[in-house]
């Protein structure tokens, strides 16, 4: 298997890091990979804030609900949906930006963020580092906005903790491929059986790695999705100047 594909298919979220600095050149390579990612209509509506200071990583760990790996890993990148740059470009030339008033801006911006995040993850792993994406920053977006001094028309969508791995993570099983890959049209038949198969697979996985408290997928995803788990996102998005009604 080609090494790029191996890098991607071997992905796992690492949550145990060594106290070991990452060389500057390696950090530059990771950010360059994200910077070269494509964006919708060449909008370049992504910015990255680099956090290295221990004090600030401690604050982010708390904002994300107390995630110790953010304190441990020496590097944290925040991927910011950024329509501030385009607004400046348009208004400086006598125009008016309206796109940020639409839900489409959040869809296209989040897509672009995801691509940049994936590029940074692949680059970091290719450099021998471990990664874990951190959506937990949206638990308290206002605190992130303040910490990173984000201007209007920007929003911190996701973070990425990066570092040298201490205790490596295990490859986590996925739902069967048949639930993911559809030929020509979406197929719904057999889904219930595939889900039950996965519930058994993931519980076996937890047992194999010595975790006897592991939930089935139905239970774990149900635990999150029975609530609006980050209710502060909507008010913060609106406060930053985005709209959601168009």
Ligand X SMILES: Cc1cc2nc3c(=O)[nH]c(=O)nc-3n(C[C@H](O)[C@H](O)[C@H](O)COP(=O)(O)O)c2cc1C
Task: Give the binding site for ligand X (CB under 6 A).
Answer: 11-13, 15, 64, 67, 132-136, 158, 169, 172
Three-state DSSP state, 76: strand
Strand intervals (E) in the chain: 46-51, 75-82, 130-134, 154-163
Residue nearer to ligand X on the CB measure, 79 or 242: 79
Angstrom CA distances, 135 to 7, 202, 236, stand at: 22, 22, 15
Q: Which residue shows structure tokens 């919708």? A: 40
Residue whose CB is less far from ligand X, 87 or 138: 138
| Closest approach of ligand X to the CB of residue 134, in Å | 4
> Least distance from C-beta 209 to ligand X, angstroms?
11
Q: Sign of the C-alpha dihedral, residues 171, 177, 181, 186? A: negative
70 vs 56: CA distance, rounded Å: 10
Minimal distance in Å, beta carbon 90 to ligand X? 29
CB of 12 to ligand X, least distance (A): 4
Q: Which residues pair with 85 in a beta bridge?
A: none
Query: What is d(CA 124, CA 171) in angstroms, rounded to the nearest whole number?
Result: 17
Q: Which is closer to ligand X, CB of 99 or CB of 148? A: 148
In angstroms, give the least distance from the CB of 27 to ligand X: 21
Between 18 and 169, name the residue whose CB sits nearer to ligand X: 169
**Could you give the dihedral angle defined by the CA atoms of residues 7, 10, 12 and 15, in that order, rounded to the nearest 10 degrees?**
-70
Q: How far is CA 149 from CA 80, 137, 146, 152, 210, in A?
A: 12, 15, 5, 10, 42
Q: Closer to ligand X by CB, 78 or 86: give it.
A: 78
Q: Quote the CA–CA distance of 36 and 145 in Å, as a whole number.
A: 25
CB of 4 or CB of 91, closer to ligand X: 4
Give the shortest CB-172-to-ligand X separation in angstroms.
4
Question: Would you say 15 or 57 has its CB closer to ligand X?
Answer: 15
For residue 65, the minimal CB distance to ligand X (Å) is 8
Alpha-carbon span 84 to 90, nearest angstrom: 10
The C-alpha atoms of residue 217 and residue 223 are separated, in whole angstroms, by: 10
């Amino acid at each position: 298997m080609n090494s790029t594909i191996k890098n991607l298919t071997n992905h796992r979220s690492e949550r145990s890091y060594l106290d070991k600095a990452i060389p500057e050149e390696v950090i530059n390579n990771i950010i360059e990979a994200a910077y070269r990612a494509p964006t919708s209509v060449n909008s370049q509506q992504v910015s990255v804030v680099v956090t290295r200071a221990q004090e600030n990583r401690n604050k982010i760990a708390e904002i994300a609900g107390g995630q110790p790996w953010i304190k441990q890993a020496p590097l944290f990148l925040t991927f910011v949906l950024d329509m501030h740059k385009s607004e400046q470009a348009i208004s400086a030339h006598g125009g008016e930006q309206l796109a940020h008033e639409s839900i489409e801006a959040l869809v296209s911006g989040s897509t672009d963020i995801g691509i940049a995040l994936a590029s940074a993850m692949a680059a970091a792993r290719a450099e021998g580092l471990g990664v874990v994406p951190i959506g937990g920053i949206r638990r308290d977006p206002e605190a992130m906005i303040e910490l990173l001094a984000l201007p209007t028309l920007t929003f911190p969508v996701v973070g990425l903790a990066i570092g040298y791995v201490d205790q490596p993570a295990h490859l986590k099983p996925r739902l069967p491929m048949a639930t993911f890959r559809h030929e020509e049209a979406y197929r719904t038949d057999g889904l219930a059986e595939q889900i039950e198969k996965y519930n058994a697979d993931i519980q076996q996985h937890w047992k194999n790695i010595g975790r006897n408290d592991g939930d089935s997928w139905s239970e774990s995803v149900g635990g999150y999705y029975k609530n609006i788990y980050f209710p502060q996102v909507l008010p913060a998005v609106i406060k930053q100047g985005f709209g959601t009604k168009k």
